[in-house]
Amino acid sequence: MTIIYLKNLGRFVFLVLFQALILNNIQLGGYINPYFYIYFILLLPFETPHWLLLLSAFLLGITLDAFTHTFGLNAAACVMIAFARPFVINAISTGTEFMTGHSPSLRNQGIKWFAYYSIILVLIHHFTLFYLEIFRLTEFFQTLVRVLLSSAFTLLLVFIAEYLSFPREK
């Protein structure tokens, strides 16, 4: 059990630093900002209580906000997907039992399940984030393009990370 806590804590620190120091500096045509750090929320174990999910997502968001100086922006988006996560899992699961202590993964749940799961959550996050950042309707379609392109890029990173972690989780 402690192992699981430590693993998630390590992932938290790594992803925040990776996002703040590397991904935030990526410049792709002015439209694409990958937000890979939410991989932490995607990978929390299935039986994480809902309140812990919300609190850890809030903490994750507010930590990242400290780096980008946008107080509450990332936190609001993270809390949103942490809230949605159990509902998404319920909606798309096929009735098979999830093993305790396991995280959602491409290997255990299959590519179709994992694709649905990650696409829905990443889209919710990016939608909330980009529209809160703009907070006007005049740039609606321009922002929509940014949401879609950035989501695609984030998902690409998520899938790369999943494939890289294949051999370890046996």
Partner 1 sequence: MRYLLFFLRKHYIYFLFLVLEIISLLLLFNNNNYQSSAFISLSNGFAGTVMKASNNISEYFSLRRVNRILAEDNAKLHSTRSEAFYKTDTNSFYRHDTLFMLEYKYISARVISNSTNKRNNFLMLNKGHKQGIEDHMGVIMGERIVGQVVSVSDHFCWVMSLLNKDSRISGKFKKNNQLVNIEWNGGSYKIGDVKEIPKHVVIRKGDTLITSGNSDIFPEGLLIGTIDNFTIAQEENFNYATVRFSTDFNSLSFVEILIDMMRKEKEDLKNSFKTSDR
AA letter at 109: Q
* Selected binder of partner 1 within 48, 70, 93, 108 (CB under 8 A): 70
54 binds partner 1 (CB under 8 A): yes
Of 5-13, 59-67, 152-160, 162-170, the window that binds partner 1 (rule: CB under 8 A) is: 59-67
* Selected binder of partner 1 within 13, 26, 99, 160 (CB under 8 A): 26
Count residues contacting partner 1 (CB under 8 A)? 43
- DSSP-derived 3-state class of residue 32: strand
- DSSP-derived 3-state class of residue 57: helix
Which residue, 61, 122, 59, is CA-closest to 88? 122
CA pair distance 79, 67, nearest whole angstrom: 18
- DSSP-derived 3-state class of residue 66: helix
Question: Considering the complex, what minimum distance in angstroms separates the CB of residue 150 from partner 1?
Answer: 10
6 binds partner 1 (CB under 8 A): no
**Residues sharing a CB contact under 8 Å with residue 119, sequence separation 6 or more, in sequence order:** 151, 155
What stretch of H or E contains 107?
A: helix 106-109
* Selected binder of partner 1 within 58, 98, 116, 127 (CB under 8 A): 58
Question: Considering the complex, what minimum distance in angstroms separates the CB of residue 112 from partner 1?
Answer: 28
Positions in the binding site for partner 1 (CB under 8 A): 17, 20-21, 24-33, 50-51, 54-55, 58, 61-62, 65-73, 75-76, 79-80, 83, 130, 132-134, 136, 139, 142-143, 146
